[in-house]
Structure 1
Amino acid sequence: MDEVREKMKNFLINSDTSGIELGAFLANRFPAPYAPYVVCLPPVIGTRKTVLLLLLLPLLLFLGALFTTPIGRRVPLLATLFANEDCILTMPSQLQKAFRPPESCGFCRSVHGTVPRLANVDPAEFARDYAYRGGPVIVTDATTNWTAMERFDYWFFKRVYETHGDGPKAERCQFFPYQTGLRDIREALSLPEPRVRYEPGTKPWYFGWSNCDPAIVRVLREHYQRPYFLPRDAENSAIDWVDNVRLPSWQSQLKGAKEWILAPPPECLYQCEFLSVTVHTGETIVLDTNKWYHKTNVLPGPISITVGAEYD
Structure 2
Amino acid sequence: METQSIASKTANNTITKIDKRSNISRQELINEYIEPAIPVVLTDATKDWKAMGKFSPEFFKKNYSHITKEIKGKTYSLPEYVDLMLKSTPENPAPYPFNFNIEHRAPELLADLKPEIIYAKSDRIKHPLLPKFMLNGTEVYEIFLGGNGGYFPFLHVDALFLHTQITQLYGSKDFILYPPEQTPFMYPREENAKISQVNVFDPNYEKYPLFKKATPLRVTVEQGETILFPTKWWHTTQIHEPCISLGRVHLNASNWNDFAKDNYLSLKKYRPGIAGPALLYTKMLGQLINLQEKAGV
TM-score, normalised to structure 2, is 0.52
What is the CA distance between 1:287 and its match in structure 2? 0.9
Task: Give the 5 Å matches for 1:217-236.
Answer: 217=107, 219-228=108-117, 230-236=119-125
Name the larger-Rg structure: 1
Partner of 1:39: none
Cα distance, 1:205–1:270 mapped onto 2, change above 3 Å: closer
Q: In structure 2, which of residues 209, 234, 242 is the aligned counterpart of residue 293 of structure 1?
A: 234
Partner of 2:171: 256
Task: Give the 5 Å matches for 1:106-145.
Answer: 110-145=13-48
C-alpha RMSD of matched pairs (Å): 3.5
Give the length in aligned residue pairs: 186
Cα distance, 1:159–1:132 mapped onto 2, change above 3 Å: farther
Once residues 114 and 22 of structure 2 are traced to their aligned partners in structure 1, the CA distance between those partners, rounded to angstroms, is 17
Cα distance, 1:208–1:193 mapped onto 2, change above 3 Å: closer
TM-score, normalised to structure 1, is 0.50
Once residues 193 and 117 of structure 1 are traced to their aligned partners in structure 2, the CA distance between those partners, rounded to angstroms, is 30
Conserved? CA contact 2:178–2:235, under 8 Å: yes
Q: Are 1:266 and 2:183 matched, yes or no?
A: yes
Once residues 193 and 234 of structure 1 are traced to their aligned partners in structure 2, the CA distance between those partners, rounded to angstroms, is 33
Partner of 1:156: 59
What is the CA distance between 1:260 and its match in structure 2? 1.1
Conserved? CA contact 1:149–1:282, under 8 Å: yes
Partner of 1:216: 106
What is the CA distance between 1:149 and its match in structure 2? 1.7
Moved more, 119-128 or 241-250: 241-250
Conserved? CA contact 2:46–2:115, under 8 Å: no
Conserved? CA contact 2:60–2:79, under 8 Å: no
In the alignment, residue 189 of structure 1 is paired with which amino acid? Answer: L
Once residues 102 and 223 of structure 2 are traced to their aligned partners in structure 1, the CA distance between those partners, rounded to angstroms, is 25
Once residues 298 and 161 of structure 1 are traced to their aligned partners in structure 2, the CA distance between those partners, rounded to angstroms, is 23
Q: In structure 2, which of residues 240, 249, 253 is the aligned counterpart of residue 310 of structure 1?
A: 249
Once residues 80 and 24 of structure 2 are traced to their aligned partners in structure 1, the CA distance between those partners, rounded to angstroms, is 40
Give the structure with the larger strand fraction: 2
What is the CA distance between 1:198 and its match in structure 2? 0.6
Cα distance, 1:139–1:193 mapped onto 2, change above 3 Å: closer
In the alignment, residue 34 of structure 2 is paired with which amino acid? Answer: A
Once residues 110 and 259 of structure 1 are traced to their aligned partners in structure 2, the CA distance between those partners, rounded to angstroms, is 24
What is the CA distance between 1:221 and its match in structure 2? 1.7
Once residues 258 and 279 of structure 1 are traced to their aligned partners in structure 2, the CA distance between those partners, rounded to angstroms, is 5
Conserved? CA contact 2:61–2:82, under 8 Å: no
In the alignment, residue 250 of structure 2 is paired with which amino acid? Answer: Y
Q: Percent identity at matched positions?
A: 24
What is the CA distance between 1:278 and its match in structure 2? 1.1
Secondary structure of 1:151's partner? coil
Superposed CA offset, 1:184-236 (max 9, x none): xxx2414177534317897523324241545722x212322143453341234
Cα distance, 1:280–1:220 mapped onto 2, change above 3 Å: same
Secondary structure of 1:282's partner? coil
Task: Give the 5 Å matches for 1:1-312.
Answer: 110-162=13-65, 177=71, 181-183=73-75, 187-191=76-80, 194-198=83-87, 204-211=94-101, 213-214=103-104, 216-217=106-107, 219-228=108-117, 230-236=119-125, 239-241=140-142, 244-246=158-160, 247-264=162-179, 265-267=182-184, 273-288=215-230, 290-299=231-240, 301=241, 303-312=242-251
